Amino acid sequence: MKIFKFGGASVKDAASVKNVTQILQSEGTESTVVVISAMGKITNAFEEVIDAYYNKTDKLSENLGVIEDFHKNLMNDLFDKDDEIYKEIDILLGELSWFLARNTSQRYNYVYDQIICFGELLSTKIVSAYLTKIGVENNWFDVRNYIKTDSNYRDAKVDWDLTQGIISNKLDASKLNITQGFIAANDTENTTTLGREGSDYTAGIFAYCLNAENVTIWKDVPGVLNADPRVFSDTTLLEQISYEEAIEMAFYGASVIHPKTLQPLERKDIPLLVRSFVNPKETGTRVSKGTSLVPSIPCFIVKKDQILVSISALDFSFMVEDNISYIFKKLHEYQLKVNLIQNSAISFSVCIDNKFNKFDEFYNELKTQFKIDVQKGIDLFTVRHFDDKAITSIEEKGKSLLTQVNKETIQIVLESN
Three-state SS at 373: strand
Three-state SS at 2: strand
Instruction: Consult the annotation and say whether 6 binds a ligand.
Output: yes
DSSP string, 212-263: -SEEEEEESSSS-BSS-TTT-SS--B--EEEHHHHHHHHHHT-SSS-TTTHH
Instruction: Consult the annotation and say whether 43 binds a ligand.
Output: yes
Instruction: Consult the annotation and say whether 18 binds a ligand.
Output: no
DSSP string, 139-196: EE--GGGT-BB-S-TTSPPB-HHHHHHHHHHH--TTSEEEEESSEEE-TTS-EEE--T
The C-alpha atoms of residue 323 and residue 320 are separated, in whole angstroms, by 6
Instruction: Consult the annotation and say whether 333 binds a ligand.
Output: no
Report helix angle 85-102 to 108-116, nearest 10. 170
Residues 6 or more apart whose Cβ sits within 8 Å of residue 338? 328, 331, 350, 351, 352
Three-state SS at 341: strand
Beta bridge partners of 404: 411
Instruction: Consult the annotation and say whether 5 binds a ligand.
Output: yes
Strand 139-140 and strand 176-180: pairing? Answer: parallel
Residues making up the binding site for substrate:
43, 120
Residues making up the binding site for ATP:
5-8, 230
Residues making up the binding site:
5-8, 43, 120, 230
